[in-house]
Structure 1
Amino acid sequence: MANKNTLTALDITLRDVLENEKFMGGKVFVCAGDFRQILPVIRGGGKNEELEHCIKSSYMWNDLTKLELTENARLKKDDTKNILFPQKLLQLGSQSEGPVEFDEDFDVRVKSRQELVDKVYDDIENNHLNASYFEKRAIVSPTNDGVDNINQMIHEKLKEKEVVYNSVDVAVEEGTDIQTSVFNAMTSPSLPPHQLRVKVGSVLMIIRNICPPKLCNGTRIIVTNLKKNVLVGKILVTAESK
């Protein structure tokens, strides 16, 4: 994901500081990542600009030693279906010739997002406080808009009463001309929305380190009670971490 210009600046800086003209000033330099995930994000740019700013387009690419992981230790060897799935995904990102085909019984295909939500979160009305129910279910979307849309569909399936929490939108300094309506309409992947709509049974993700190691950025909770200024929840953990 790193822009090649950032790595070039680091290379030049280390050579200068260490007075060593070797790559990265002669220091061991390790990059970790997968080009199947995401290329550098170029504001207003297209595919050509993203490829141009990728480390593969840099002078340093040919001098790097490439190491690849070849085995997924989390998969059971007798679980043929779960072994084939990551193999198929790797084929999709490896420029394999011809179409990558999945067996008919390999997956469940749907025609709409609503049908997908109904398939994955079937009977959520009776399992909205069941941690093991949510541990085995997830829907992945490539865009934030898709995530918001799917989350709203799941939210509507919960029959509990909805409570709306508004963020503080009052300027501290007097005379500050701030259009709060503009800021309230903005969304950010690192901040909750201005209006946080929650029900008992909603699954939320903590985005701050509140009380490590249990309540950290990325911890998921199931809401069990809604107070005026406090959300009460139960930590949602996987079976391996219990």
Structure 2
Amino acid sequence: MTQRYAFEALDKTLRDILGSKQEENRGKLFGGMPILLGGNFRQILPVIPKGKRQEVIQSCINISELWKDCQLFTLSRIMRVNEYTADGQLDTRKHLFNKWILDIGDGKVPAKSKEGEDEPTWIQIPEEFIVKSEKTPIEDIVNTIFLDFTQRQDDEEYLRERAILTPRNDDADEINKHMLKRIKGDAMTFKSSDEICKGSTDALEQHQTYPVEFLNKLNFPGVPPHKLKLKIGQPIMLLRNVSPSAGLCNGTRLIITDFQKFVIHARIITGSHIGNMVIIPRIVLTSTQTK
């Protein structure tokens, strides 16, 4: 997701630093230092706010002059969906789904264009990969992925091997609200403490210009809402690197074990620190959304 300009700036910086003692390093890529990049062009590309398609493509690393000197290593196994059962047998349905996902990324699945569109950008999803909706879409997909959730919500292995992915934050919020109602116990509400950064405005009366009630209604990507409802026993996911050495990284999944006014007690259920008890404090989060 990093724009190519960041890599090009790093390349020039390392050439200057490493070339100050050895002149030949000024002519080497990244000053002669090995650099390992990790990413997947099948997934999300660099984010350009309000940018058009050509602007997104121009910001990719493979458009840069650096790309021709990169050695490419390819991984083709999808880690999101485990193709093997508990006894080591290959699950044919999951294997076909993973292959279909890879074919989409490689452009092998034929695309169609809708009326008035110049370029085909739509694909047909096979029937066997679609959850049939009989009641409401959210309830149907929850019942499919989290089968017998009421009886097994305390089973960490059951929770660890399941997840629902959505492309939109609004959909994730609706699914979370639905799941929260199904978790036993009373919910506790944590409220944010919102304020305007004093260095971001010249207004002398910024508290009157931006009242707290207005700030509480704003929602930003990657930042929890003003009112965050949680329950003991609820699985949660970190959105920040709090303490990587303790296993608290962006994407770590945990189970809430207790609450205090300013901290959350939880147990890690993924990664290399499974089972460790941790305390998550309140964290100051700043949105980069300038608008």
Range into which the TM-score falls when normalised by the shorter chain: 0.7 to 0.9
How far 1:90 sits from its partner (Å)?
0.8
The corresponding residue for 1:88 is 100
Match of 2:50 among 39, 44, 57: 44
Rate the CA distance shift 1:181–1:107 in 2: closer, same or farther, 3 A. Answer: same
Offset at 1:34?
A: 1.0
Over 3 Å counting, the alpha-carbon distance change for 1:238 and 1:84 in structure 2 is farther
Deviation of the 1:16 alpha carbon: 3.2
- Pair 1:236 & 2:269 matched: yes
Q: Give how far 1:188 is off.
A: 4.0
How far does residue 224 in structure 1 lie from its aligned partner after superposition? 4.3
What's the offset of the Cα at 1:95? 1.0
Deviation string, structure 1 residues 56-75 (Cα, Å, up to 9, x no partner):
22222223222212557975
Which has the higher mean CA deviation after the structures are superposed, 196-205 or 39-48?
Answer: 196-205
What is the CA distance between 1:123 and its match in structure 2?
3.2
Q: Distance in 2 between matches of 1:80 and 1:240?
A: 28
Q: 1:220, CA displacement in angstroms?
A: 2.7
How many angstroms apart in 1 are the aligned matches of 2:3 and 2:219? 25
Alignment correspondent of 1:121:
146
Question: SS where residue 246 of structure 2 aligns?
Answer: coil
Pairwise CA distance, 1:51 = 0.4
- Residues 211 and 154 of structure 1, relative CA distance in 2, 3 Å threshold: same
SS in 2 for 1:60: helix
Residues in 2 aligned to 1:14 and 1:109: alpha-carbon distance in whole angstroms:
51
Match of 2:253 among 185, 201, 220: 220
Q: In structure 1, which of residues 161, 183, 187 is the aligned counterpart of residue 215 of structure 2? A: 183
Match of 2:32 in 1: 26
Between 1:43-52 and 1:59-68, the stretch displaced more is 59-68
Q: What is the aligned partner in structure 1 of residue 63 from structure 2?
A: 57
Q: Is 2:254–2:266's contact at 8 Å kept on the other side of the alignment? A: yes
Asked if the contact 2:188/2:230 (under 8 Å) is kept, the reply is yes
Task: Calculate the aligned-residue CA RMSD, in Å.
Answer: 3.6
Percent identical residues: 29
How does 1:97-116 map onto structure 2 within 5 Å? 97-98=109-110, 106-107=128-129, 109-111=131-133, 112-116=137-141
After superposition, the Cα gap between the structure-2 partners of 1:180 and 1:236, relative to the gap in structure 1 and judged at 3 Å, is same
Please say if 1:167 is aligned against 2:200.
no
Shift of 1:208: 5.7
1:143-168 Cα shifts (integer Å, max 9, x gaps) = 32222221112112235322212233
Asked if the contact 1:121/1:154 (under 8 Å) is kept, the reply is: no
For 1:42 and 1:215, locate their aligned partners in 2 and report how far apart those are by CA, in whole Å. Answer: 29
Considering Cα pairs closer than 8 Å and 6+ residues apart, tell me whether 1 or 2 has the greater RCO: 1
Q: CA deviation at 1:170?
A: 7.7
Q: Does 1:131 align with 2:156?
A: yes
Distance 1:163 1:36, change over 3 A: same
Q: Distance in 2 between matches of 1:227 and 1:236?
A: 21
CA shift in 2, pair 1:228/1:33, >3 Å:
closer
Matched, 1:203 2:252: no
- Gapped regions of structure 1 (runs ≥ 5): none
Deviates more, 1:143-152 or 1:10-19: 10-19
Paired residue total: 240
> Does the 8 Å CA contact 1:163/1:197 hold for their aligned counterparts?
yes
Question: Which residue among 90, 113, 126 is the counterpart of 1:79?
Answer: 90
Judged with a 3 Å threshold, the aligned counterparts in structure 2 of structure 1 residues 239 and 136 are, in CA distance, closer, same or farther, namely farther
SS of 1:9's partner is helix
